Amino acid sequence: MMWLKRLFSRRRLYGELSEEIRGHLEEKIEELVASGMSRKKASYAARREFGNVTLIEEDSRDAWRWPSIENFFMNVRYGLRMLRKSPGFTTAAVLTIALGIGANAAIFGLVDSVFLRGLPFHEPERLVHIWVIEADGDLHTPTPTVYQAVLEGSKSFEQIAAQGWADYFLDSDGSVSQNLPGLLVTPNWLPALGIQPLLGRNFREEEEVAGQDAVVMLSYNCWRAQFHGDPYIAGKQIVLNRRAVTVIGVLPRSVGSEIVAPLVLDSYVKQGNIRAGKMRVQVIARMKPGVTLGQARSEAEVLAGRLKNQGTPADRIDRLVVQAFAEMFRHPGPTEQNAQRGLWMTAVASGVVLLIACANVASLLLARGVKRHREVAVRAALGCTRRRMIRQLLTESTLVFLFGAVIAVIMTRWCEEIITKVASGIVPGVYLQVDARVFLASLAVSLLSALASGMIPAMQATRVRLNENLKEAAPNAGGGSHPRRLRNCLVGGQVALGMVLLVGFGLLLRSFLHVESSKLGYDPHNVLTATIRLPYTRYTTLSDRARLMGEAAERMRLMPGVESVGVADSLPMEGAYSARLRIEVPTPKAPPVENEIWFVSVSPEYFSTLKVPMLAGRAFRDADSQEGSSVAIINETFAKQYFPGTNPIGYRLAFADSPTTWREIVGVVSDFRQRNPEEDLRPLAYFPAAQTLPGRWSMAIRVRAASDMGNISARISNWLQPVDPQLYWQLGSLQAQIHDSESLTLRRPMITLLASFGSLALILVIVGVFGVTSYSVAERTREIGIRTALGAARLEIAGLVFRESLKVALAGLAVGTFCAFAVTRFFPTEGIGWSGSGIFLYGVSRTDSLTYLVSAALLTCVVLAASWAPARRAMRVDPMVALRYE
Amino acid sequence: MKDRERRDLFPGALEMMVLRTLKPQPLHGYALAQHIKRTSKDLLQIEEGSLYPALQRLLKEELVKAEWSISSTNRRVRIYKLTAKGAKHLEQEVSRFEKMLEGITRVLAPGES
């Protein structure tokens, strides 16, 4: 308790100390006076011999306290006082920092939510995915039968859960329906992951049975977006797929699709595509405590051996693959890779914005340091060491950064929702939630940047030549050319960073525009779409399906204003199903080639409706139906790849899994993009929709006049009512399909993010150039006054200002161009995986001169614009006033 | 700030001298300063003031204690006195210093190796 007593007796201690020192000096003076010195002289001599009283008192007090902490608080108090004294500087600096740190806080939050936070599950190291490798050698999710076999046959797992996929239409007010992706899960799915519902309860065992399954859980996003985060949602009824279901709970943010419902295996299996399609489930399992991945794998091998020759051909598997959850993250799929790309780019961009902000504050601090030269000189004269003053100045700049960080976090908190919305376009499931981690990260970043941008100005400001600084009172006393050079370097650096950011943005923007306007191969204008998903409880027979398709298309064609109607199971930009096709090749006696090929089922009028020309042979005919002979059409790329130099008409195709049904090629159609506007062309096969009869298909409806689009679209649902009043048609247009195509939806948020960072950067550059130029004009007032007095024209004076800004800007642009060359080397130049989409440079080279020129021109304009006001001020300098200014 | 007193002395030297001076008799600050100056024959350039931080440090570590009283010249002064702990500390420091000095002397002595 000694230190506590000391803490309180300090005031007395310090008083005694002062008294003692005073006594010492008096004694000395008296002694000197006694030896014959005058009192005045004696007093000087005593002080000289004693040393700096204040400093010694301070040092003596230091013995009694925790000097670093107390000095720190003293510095903070002093710093706060100084900041209050110059609100202009403080506001400008704090806001600049807030912008820079805010951008980084947001990006950190996003990155954190997907990459750093780790898996949001309980003991994730015990969680595995179970995959199968089938005869084709590819990795698939298992069929429900295999899932059940694993469920019954394995002992390594505590829980084995399955998840299927579904599509939901949410009726909000009877007329508008929204399509929401859904998951169907077994009741043990959440327990297996070790996740508790955010609200309400989990599914129960008995809800896994058809008829009992009218319950759903909502994802966090769905709950917030569709139900306004209603805290009493559990227990309420909603209408999904025209069926009333009860919401039993809300999932936490970390899991799930929009809607999660119980998986009823029997009915799920029945939804299967009629053409040998398999319904599959994703299987996850939690290993029992103590079971290793190796043990689980060897058990799976035994199990796979048993399954090999058992069950229907569709369920035959080659191997069971047990994969730890963590591995999925080590070997990211296309989505994850794209997420990484997008996030890295934005992270770099936000870092650049922060650097620019730091440079701004550094130059503000430099200018302020010059203004404070006298203060610094006085303090130095009083015995303050340089180290101490640097510490003081750094404390002050750190305070600015901390305020900035706090404001940044508050701003980020406000923008949480909108940022989440934009970013989830690039990375599904990403979200921004400002929490302690984001706050701490922001603080850490702000401290680092405070050091980075405060150090040099502090060193500069404390470089004192005592005599000169104390004597010279003119505002242009301090500085000289050195700080000005430093400030110019900072501005040049800002311009360079701005250049990097603008070039990066420009290249991606040009790529985006190229993708948007790329040659599609079909005419998407004036085409409406109506998509149907057949309810699996009805239309179970092929003839019912064929009748529905025929009647709907026919009725649509009769609608006034409609030119033609085509049917396809996958519209352009939707991608397509793929299957192993067996292809007869023109080489004599060669066996048929087998390959995984995309295929689309279409009606006879489909190609003409899209205005895609037939290159050879014929289009499908109404006669190509269930009763007719099996036929196929291939695209140009297919023909070039498999029938080089030959006419493919008359050769045959078959699905590898039903090899006896050969389909004769009757035509070759011109290529068009089926998945993404920028994808490479690929071989595609078309089959008559009347022969494959898919469970989901769309009508492409070409309207005569563009002005009719809205009108017709509004009437389609009613018009089709007589065909089957219970069916739900999802409406859209081909233009919207392109707008929503994967690559454009991936690129758009990226453009938005980079554009906002780019504009932030430009604003910061403007502020920076304006600040520095104004300062240098103020500093040179006397020089300008002299020049004017000597007869320099006003324009010459303005030229002086502009010339300096331009010089700095050009140097910055040169460096920036160089840096941009270096940085854009890391820009990807091709899409990811089979989908071929992603964020990459398309139709533009990374050294694209237009982008560089426009960026440079833009920055130059910005610099000149920012120098405009200071230049005007320079022109107005009155020589009389300027010279009398001392 | 600490550099100041280390300019001529090695760290701890001033404290050691203070303790040594206080060993035979308690003194107040001014007398202490004069005594050190006198005995060192002004060879050591010590600012008189630098004594006080050193005294405060010694006080804090309880190597000396202080009492207010009236000096011979009739002024209120604080008299510093060595404590038992201080005496022991002084002994240790002196022997350490002597060893160090011996070492330095050996190194500096010419001719021997």
| pLDDT tens track for A676-690 | 888 878 899 999 999
Q: In whole angstroms, what is the distance from residue A340 CA to residue A359 CA?
A: 28
- The answer on pLDDT for A273 being more than 60 is no
Asked whether the beta carbons of residue A64 and residue B60 sit closer than 8 angstroms, the reply is: yes
Give the pLDDT of residue A688: 94
Q: Which residue out of A14, A33, A59, A382 would a mutagenesis test of the B interface target, given it has the greatest number of B Cβ atoms within 10 Å?
A: A59
- The answer on pLDDT for A175 being more than 60 is no
Mean pLDDT calculated for residue range A638-650: 92
Query: Could you tell me the pLDDT band of residue A638, with boundaries at 50, 70 and 90?
Result: very high
- Taking only the tens place, the pLDDT of each residue in A783-828 is 888 888 888 888 888 898 899 899 999 999 999 999 999 999 888 8
Element (H, E) at A581: strand A577-583
Mean pLDDT calculated for residue range A116-126: 77
B73 vs A21, A27, A64: nearest CB: A27
- The answer on pLDDT for A575 being more than 80 is yes
Mean pLDDT calculated for residue range A561-583: 90
Query: Could you tell me the pLDDT band of residue B1, with boundaries at 50, 70 and 90?
Result: very low
- The answer on pLDDT for A556 being more than 90 is yes
- Taking only the tens place, the pLDDT of each residue in A464-504 is 665 565 555 444 444 455 677 888 888 999 999 999 999 99
Asked whether the beta carbons of residue A63 and residue B53 sit closer than 8 angstroms, the reply is: yes
Asked whether the beta carbons of residue B57 and residue A63 sit closer than 8 angstroms, the reply is: yes
A-B Cβ pairs (cutoff 8 Å, strict): 70
Mean pLDDT calculated for residue range A501-519: 92
Please state, for a pLDDT cut of 90, what percent of chain A lies above it.
29
Give the pLDDT of residue A660: 81
Query: Could you tell me the pLDDT band of residue A640, with boundaries at 50, 70 and 90?
Result: very high
Report the amino acid identity of residue A61: R
Chain A interface with B: residues with Cβ < 8 Å: 16-17, 19-21, 23-24, 26-28, 30, 49-53, 55-64, 385, 388
User: Do the Cβ atoms of B30 and A24 come closer than 8 Å?
Assistant: yes
Query: Could you tell me the pLDDT band of residue A274, with boundaries at 50, 70 and 90?
Result: very low
At residue A353, the 3 state secondary structure works out as: helix
- Taking only the tens place, the pLDDT of each residue in A133-160 is 877 667 778 888 888 888 888 888 999 9
Asked whether the beta carbons of residue B49 and residue A56 sit closer than 8 angstroms, the reply is: yes
Examine the predicted complex and report whether its ipTM is higher than 0.85: no
In B, which residues are within 8 Å of A55 by CB distance? 1, 4
Of A59-73, A867-881, B11-25, which range is least confident? A59-73
- The answer on pLDDT for A8 being more than 90 is no
Query: Could you tell me the pLDDT band of residue A228, with boundaries at 50, 70 and 90?
Result: confident
Rg (CA), chain A: 37
Q: In whole angstroms, what is the distance from residue A548 CA to residue B68 CA?
A: 111
Instruction: Give whole-number Cα distances, A742 to A181, A507, A700, in Å.
Output: 16, 19, 20
Q: Which of A458, A448, A466, A465 is nearest to A390 (CA)?
A: A458
Say if strands A527-533 and A696-703 run parallel, antiparallel, or are unpaired.
antiparallel
Torsion over CA: B102, B107, B109, B112 (sign): positive
Asked whether the beta carbons of residue B52 and residue A58 sit closer than 8 angstroms, the reply is: no
DSSP class of residue A209 equals S
Q: Which residue out of B56, B58, B71 would a mutagenesis test of the A interface target, given it has the greatest number of A Cβ atoms within 10 Å?
A: B56
The alpha-carbon gap from A18 to the nearest alpha carbon of chain B, in Å, equals 10
Chain B interface with A: residues with Cβ < 8 Å: 1-2, 4, 29-30, 33, 47-50, 52-53, 55-57, 59-60, 68, 73, 75-78
| CB-based burial label for A124 (10 Å; 0-12, 13-18, 19+) | middle
Mean pLDDT calculated for residue range B82-111: 86
Q: In whole angstroms, what is the distance from residue A659 CA to residue A581 CA?
A: 9
Instruction: Give whole-number Cα distances, A302 to A160, A319, A491, in Å.
Output: 17, 9, 68
Our CA angle for A170, A172, A178, nearest 5°, is 40
Asked whether the beta carbons of residue B56 and residue A23 sit closer than 8 angstroms, the reply is: no
Instruction: Give whole-number Cα distances, A407 to A318, A439, A662, B33, B105, in Å.
Output: 58, 11, 69, 55, 64
User: Do the Cβ atoms of A316 and A136 come closer than 8 Å?
Assistant: no
C-beta neighbour count of A118 within 10 angstroms? 9
Nearest-CA residue of chain B relative to A28? B30
The alpha-carbon gap from A458 to the nearest alpha carbon of chain B, in Å, equals 19
- The answer on pLDDT for A605 being more than 70 is yes
Average pLDDT along chain A: 84
Give the pLDDT of residue B96: 87
Q: Which of A496, A422, A501, A434 is nearest to A102 (CA)?
A: A434
Give the pLDDT of residue A822: 93
Residues 6 or more apart whose Cβ sits within 8 Å of residue A563: A609, A702, A703, A704
Asked whether the beta carbons of residue A50 and residue B47 sit closer than 8 angstroms, the reply is: yes
Asked whether the beta carbons of residue A17 and residue B52 sit closer than 8 angstroms, the reply is: yes
Q: In whole angstroms, what is the distance from residue A85 CA to residue A229 CA?
A: 46
Output the DSSP codes for A786-801. HHHHTT--HHHHHHHH
Q: In whole angstroms, what is the distance from residue B112 CA to residue B56 CA?
A: 43
Q: In whole angstroms, what is the distance from residue A476 CA to residue A479 CA?
A: 7
Report the amino acid identity of residue A98: A
Give the pLDDT of residue A522: 93
The alpha-carbon gap from A469 to the nearest alpha carbon of chain B, in Å, equals 23
- Taking only the tens place, the pLDDT of each residue in A535-549 is 656 777 888 889 999
Residues 6 or more apart whose Cβ sits within 8 Å of residue A729: A530, A531, A532, A716, A717, A720
Mean pLDDT calculated for residue range A261-272: 78
| Phi, psi torsion values for A531, nearest 5 degrees | -115, 140
Of A233-242, A273-282, A330-339, A686-695, which range is least confident? A273-282
| CB-based burial label for A273 (10 Å; 0-12, 13-18, 19+) | middle
* Structure-block tokens of residue A878: 């009155």
CA A16 to chain centre: 64
User: Do the Cβ atoms of A224 and A421 come closer than 8 Å?
Assistant: no
User: Do the Cβ atoms of A633 and A686 come closer than 8 Å?
Assistant: yes
In A, which residues are within 8 Å of B52 by CB distance? 17, 20-21, 56-57, 59-60
Give the pLDDT of residue B2: 41
User: Do the Cβ atoms of A407 and A94 come closer than 8 Å?
Assistant: yes
Give the pLDDT of residue A472: 53
In A, which residues are within 8 Å of B53 by CB distance? 56, 59-60, 62-63
Of A446-460, A464-478, A732-746, which range is least confident? A464-478
User: Do the Cβ atoms of A147 and A222 come closer than 8 Å?
Assistant: no
Instruction: Give whole-number Cα distances, A763 to A159, A285, A859, in Å.
Output: 55, 52, 11
Mean pLDDT calculated for residue range A618-637: 92
B30 vs A24, A58, A63: nearest CB: A24
3-state secondary structure A622-691: CCCCCCCCCEEEEEHHHHHHHCCCCCCCCCEEEECCCCCCCEEEEEEECCCCCCCCCCCCCCEEEEEHHH
Q: In whole angstroms, what is the distance from residue A862 CA to residue A758 CA?
A: 13
